[in-house]
Amino acid sequence: MSEMEEEDFVPPLPTQHEPTTSAKPLLQSVLSRNLPPKHGNPGKSTMATNTLTPLLWNQFFDEKRELHIGEDVFTVYLKGSRGPIFYLLHGGGYSGLTWACFAKSLCDQIECRIVAPDLRGHGASHSEDEEDLSVSRQVRDIADIFDKLFEKDQGDVSVCVIGHSMGGALAVHVVHEKVLKANVVGLIVIDVVEGTAMESLSGMVHFLNSRPPTFSSYENAIKFCLKSAMTRNSTAARISMPSQLREITENQLTWRIDLAKTEPHWRGWFEGLSSKFLDCSPPKLLALAGVDRFDRDLTIAQMQGKFQTCLLPKVGHCVQEDSPENLADEIARFAVRFRFATSKVGMVPSVFPERRPF
**Residue 215 sits in a domain of what CATH number?**
3.40.50.1820
List the domain range (segments joined by +) for residue 5: 1-358
In this structure, which amino acid lies at residue 238?
Answer: R
Our count of domains for the chain comes to: 1
Q: Would residue 165 show up in a list of annotated catalytic residues for this protein?
A: yes
Q: Would residue 317 show up in a list of annotated catalytic residues for this protein?
A: yes
Mode of pairing for the β-strands spanning 158-164 and 183-190: parallel
Q: Which of 165, 200, 240, 274 is catalytic?
A: 165
- pLDDT of the residue at 50: 58
Helices (H), ranges, 166-217: 166-177, 194-200, 204-210
Q: Which of 90, 164, 176, 317 is catalytic?
A: 317
CA distance 193 to 190: 9
pTM of the model: 0.84
Q: Which run of H or of E encompasses 248?
A: strand 245-249
Residue 289's SS3 state is coil
- pLDDT of the residue at 292: 60
Contacts of 44 (CB under 8 A, 6+ apart): 7, 8
Residue 37, pLDDT > 90, answer no
Q: Which of 29, 125, 127, 191 is catalytic?
A: 191
Percent of the chain exceeding pLDDT 90 equals 66
Backbone angles phi, psi at 330, to 5 degrees: -65, -45
CA distance 268 to 340: 31
In this structure, which amino acid lies at residue 299?
Answer: T
Percent of the chain exceeding pLDDT 70 equals 81
CA distance 79 to 65: 11
Residue-averaged pLDDT of the chain: 84
Q: Would residue 8 show up in a list of annotated catalytic residues for this protein?
A: no
Q: Are 114 and 103 in contact (CB under 8 A)?
A: yes
Contacts of 185 (CB under 8 A, 6+ apart): 84, 158, 159, 160, 282, 283, 338, 340
- Give the pLDDT confidence of 307-351 residue by residue, as tens digits: 999 999 889 989 999 999 999 999 999 999 999 999 997 655 544
Q: Are 333 and 309 in contact (CB under 8 A)?
A: no
